[in-house]
Every structure is written in C-alpha cells, then in structure tokens.
Amino acid sequence: MMKRNKTWLITGCSSGLGRAFAQEVLKNGYNAIITSRNPKDIQDIVENYPETALGLALDVTKKEQVKEVIKQAGERFGSIDVLINNAGYGYRSAVEEADESQVNELFSVNFSGMVNMIKAVLPIMRKQKSGAIFNVSSIAGRFSNPGSGYYSATKFAIEGMSYALRKEVAPLGIRVIIIEPGAFRTDFSGRSLTGTRIEISDYKETAGKRRKENDHTHGTEPGNPQKAAQAIIKVEESAEVPFRLLLGTDAINIIRPELEAQLKELEDWKEISLSTDY
C-alpha cells in the first residue's frame, strides 16, 4: 500500500523530466520539495498542490542554497525519503574544441551538484535508516557519440560514483538507482543544450554533424516524460529495485548492442588479456 506521507526532493523541476517527476509525485499523493533556479518556473505546480508541495530556489552548485533547501524541507515535512537528482544540461563539442571554462561548469552542475545533494540528504537518510536516491544519468553514461565526449564524461562519472555509493549505503537501508533515459520530448535538445564556441573544420563530419544548430531532433523524441515519471514511482514503490534502469525503446535498442559489442571485444582479446599475469 502506498505510503502517502513519503517526502520526495526533486532538482531541476522547471521543465522536462524534472517537471514531470514533480507533477506525477504530487499527483500520487506524496509530499514533494520541488526546486528550480527560478522558483517562478514551478509556481503553478505549487499552487495546484498547496498542502503537499514546497517550491524552493536551488542552484545545486551553491552549497548554501542546498543547505537552506534541506533545512526548509525538514521544517515543512520532517524528513526526506526520496531524492531525485535531475538537474543538469547537455553540451556538444569535439574533445579538442572544448572551452575549459564550459567543461568545468558542465562538471560543476552535472556531477558536483549531484554530489552536493547526495551529501546533504545522507545524514537524514542514515538517521532514519531508509531512503532512495535516484541519480539521473543517460544512455550517454554507457557509451558516447562524437561531440558528446564531455557530456558523457559527466554521466560516466555519475555512474562510477553511484556504483560505489550503492555499496556503501545499502547496509544502512538506503537504495541507489541510476536512471538512464534515451531521448525524451523535453527541452534537452532545446534550451538545455549548449555547445562549443570554437569550431575546427576537421571535425565537420563527426562532431560537427551533432552541433546544436545541426540537431533537428527537438520535439520529435520518442520518450514521454510523464510515463518516465510513472515508471520512477513504480520502481520506488517496489520491494526490489534495479541499480540501472534504462528508459525508452531507443535506450534498449542502443545499449543492448553496445553491451554485446563490449562482450565480444572481451572474448576477441581475451588471450592477450590473460597473457599479462605472472
């Protein structure tokens, strides 16, 4: 039976998956702290659920804001049972083209911001000996395309960190789940996608084809954000949970052959691999 009094904390709720997560969680009767860098973007959701929604300003790279959100969450609802680390954005650039300041900012939001949130909620979850942390990664956390090397690097970092975190907190009653969406009909390829300011002509046929101005997928993606949110709730309510959860038909169709190719490569080069022991 659904625990109606559970409290969810969701980052990046202004649009896309984060907004869908917020709406669906509240629709299902849970309490939710929904956050955005600009609270005006989520005010309509809060107004629809005045008893169970708390809308707060949050830039996940600012630790003082993170602390304030945790403080207000405790004052309003008393606990945090589920964290959805959703805040983040995309970046396209060939590896050589990338601007160092842009890459640093990308990691600051996509990876370090997520760590900030995890470290803020863990004392609460450790004390209550329960909780769930959903870290939104991507299929780009399993492979990478030309032009997405740095974005994928943030997602690979998320997955590596989450792998260890899961083992560290499982004995404490806390679950960690990585969400790996394919392409969803959000603003990811629109306002949430940035790109390099430097273009090298030699990469025109590789990374160049995937520059933001050449990406025409916005609005045609197969994934339904509301159905993704429903899937997350279903997982959280389950007694057993996956560690990695792919979302979308395209995610399955892309990652299955990727994993099969990795296994084939392991077998093809196994003799050399085995030859390196004493």
Q: What is the pLDDT along the chain (278 residues), one digit of tens a residue?
A: 444 489 999 999 998 899 999 999 999 999 999 999 999 999 999 999 999 999 999 999 999 999 999 999 999 999 999 999 999 999 999 999 999 999 999 999 999 999 999 999 999 999 999 999 999 999 999 999 999 999 999 999 999 999 999 999 999 999 999 999 988 655 655 566 788 888 999 999 999 887 766 665 655 576 788 999 999 999 999 999 999 999 999 999 999 999 999 999 999 999 999 999 99
Taking a C-beta distance cutoff of 8 angstroms, is the pair 230, 30 a contact? no
Overall pTM surpassing 0.75 (yes/no): yes
Active-site option among 151, 152, 162, 189: 151
204 is catalytic: no
Clarify whether 189 is annotated catalytic: no
The stretches of 28-148 forming alpha helices (DSSP H) are 43-48, 63-77, 100-107, 113-128
Cα 115 to the center of its chain, rounded Å: 12
Catalytic residue among 14, 137, 152, 189: 137
Q: What angle do CA 14, 19, 25 make, to 5 degrees?
A: 140
Distance CA 122, CA 83 (A): 10
CATH numbers and ranges of domains, the chain:
7-250 (3.40.50.720)
Query: Does residue 203 have an active-site annotation?
Result: no
How big is the chain, counted in residues?
278
Burial category of 18 from C-beta neighbours within 10 Å (exposed 0-12, middle 13-18, buried 19 and up):
buried
